[in-house]
Structure 1
């Protein structure tokens, strides 16, 4: 007798792509999937959705499990946090395709502001509560310089920041994004274990390597488009070298001769965070008609 649930879609000929089913990465993952042209319809309470325009099945899993599933080959691709990969001890069993730039935060050792604990060394041998037990033990082993850890590390799955106030711990290890929750609990960071962000990963023997490469290229195209704008301007040819020094672009500017003798039109990719300063400098050296265009997508 077969116990396979016939209501689940057949995924035998599809690449399995795991994404967080909820939590801090969920909405940004959905936005990224839409931007890279992955179309799907997820039925209510279903954790598998077939992509309509590619041979892919999306599998919605807890972010904390995705690295393990990818490492074991249960799914082919996955998006999860770098902190989860390290905590799962899966970094040697997965390949990092690209970092995604969202979900950035820090895994930090924290202690009550009113406590005598001002450095991580002050917490050696004390009680630590965290949901990142492996990373925490590794960190304290480094500072204790002994094979037998004496710091008491206890696992909790949520509300870690309440542990000190409830008398369960002398310090905690938890993710910090803005720091508002930490400060509201009367805590302060005394050490950083890891700076983390979301990562696209694959297992070491992917079943669909060409398709995985296509997804990687699409993702990197979107990330580049989010980071850069296209700056266009006109300048006298004898000022072109100086202008290229100001805005060299990712590889090199595109230069086109104008009908007006001695003038050229230039198109160049510029990082958004540097745009205002570079426009000012281009204007100073004689550039005119400086325009900025958003980049919706690209391949680099």
Structure 2
């Protein structure tokens, strides 16, 4: 790893798997919450970029999110969390393995132009004009496609700006910008609107194609997927007459199949089944309509597929 990221007072990591997470920014807090939920215990000292995990042979490495994909791709880091946009921008998708998408840090990489300029209503209208962005590669790829030319031959001028990209149009530096949009508040405050989406992005757990610790990587992947499943589903329990069980199972088929148990009251069964949270209310209404009783919903703290 580059010495610019390593504090010389940091502990020796020994033969530990290196797991990189963003050291700051929009993904940092959510990554720490995820690490806590999957049982990774560590104590990061102030201004230290490495923390030894106390209950697993893992060392956490805190890096700029923009660098994590490159370090994983080159094999300096075994496992990492970063944005899909960064993976694509750093052009490391051929050298990294996407283990699972994490469901947080969702946003869109969008082409934006001034609302006041109605002549720039589509991305095609920006062809041959000036664009500034911190996503040089993705922007050039998009506009080369629009021009039908190679990146070397394209006429659209794409310039790199590392920060305050949204100010470029107002300052006369660009006709349009390409930047990440989460809520859209910053974009609207700058008098811009989105005219094209280049990429829908979110945080991703990645590794490389030459894993040194495949079993440990798989363990962490399973733990992460268990937490993601617990966030997506609830456990629904209800009682139903046995002669209505087929209809109930059609309403709540579960991930694999419902768990059915006989009740002391003959002719009735109890059903336990996982249901996606987003459709729970409709499913409960449908169960009630076919005669289900004692419908209960329990939160799932963790799970395994």
- Say yes or no: does 1:137 pair with 2:140: yes
Runs of 4+ in 1 over 3 A off after TM superposition: 3-6
Map of 1:221-232 to 2, 5 A cutoff? Answer: 221-232=226-237
Question: Are 2:7 and 2:49, in contact at CA under 8 Å, matched by a contact in 1?
Answer: no
Q: Compared with structure 1, are the counterparts of its residues 138 and 266 closer, same or farther at alpha carbon in structure 2 (3 Å cutoff)?
A: same
Corresponding residue pairs, total: 298
Q: Return the match for 1:119 from 118, 122, 126.
A: 122
- Name 2:72's counterpart in structure 1: 70
Bigger Cα displacement from structure 2, 90-99 vs 3-12: 3-12
Q: TM-score, length-normalised on structure 2?
A: 0.96
Give the C-alpha shift of residue 11 in structure 1.
1.3
Map of 1:74-85 to 2, 5 A cutoff? Answer: 74-85=76-87
Give the C-alpha shift of residue 146 in structure 1.
1.3
- Name 1:209's counterpart in structure 2: 214
- Name 1:98's counterpart in structure 2: 100
**CA displacement, residues 31-62 of structure 1 (integer Å, 9 cap, x when unaligned):** 00000000000000000000000000000000
Question: Are 2:21 and 2:63, in contact at CA under 8 Å, matched by a contact in 1?
Answer: yes
Tell me the distance in 1 between the aligned counterparts of 2:176 and 2:236. 50
Tell me the distance in 1 between the aligned counterparts of 2:122 and 2:10. 52
Secondary structure of the 1:188 match is strand
Map of 1:42-61 to 2, 5 A cutoff? Answer: 42-61=44-63
Q: TM-score, length-normalised on structure 1?
A: 0.98
List runs of 5+ in structure 2 lacking aligned partners. none
Q: Compared with structure 1, are the counterparts of its residues 6 and 150 closer, same or farther at alpha carbon in structure 2 (3 Å cutoff)?
A: closer
- Say yes or no: does 1:254 pair with 2:276: no
Tell me the distance in 2 between the aligned counterparts of 1:54 and 1:140. 46
Give the C-alpha shift of residue 6 in structure 1.
6.0
- Name 1:289's counterpart in structure 2: 294
Q: Return the match for 2:243 from 235, 238, 246.
A: 238
Tell me the distance in 2 between the aligned counterparts of 1:159 and 1:16. 33
Tell me the distance in 2 between the aligned counterparts of 1:151 and 1:89. 21
Map of 1:134-283 to 2, 5 A cutoff? Answer: 134-147=137-150, 148-283=153-288
Give the C-alpha shift of residue 7 in structure 1.
2.4
Question: Are 2:102 and 2:202, in contact at CA under 8 Å, matched by a contact in 1?
Answer: yes
Give the C-alpha shift of residue 8 in structure 1.
1.7
- Name 1:109's counterpart in structure 2: 111
**CA displacement, residues 236-295 of structure 1 (integer Å, 9 cap, x when unaligned):** 011011011111111100000001101000000000111111001000000000000000
Tell me the distance in 1 between the aligned counterparts of 2:214 and 2:154. 42
Tell me the distance in 2 between the aligned counterparts of 1:13 and 1:222. 27
Tell me the distance in 2 between the aligned counterparts of 1:51 and 1:43. 12
Secondary structure of the 1:226 match is helix
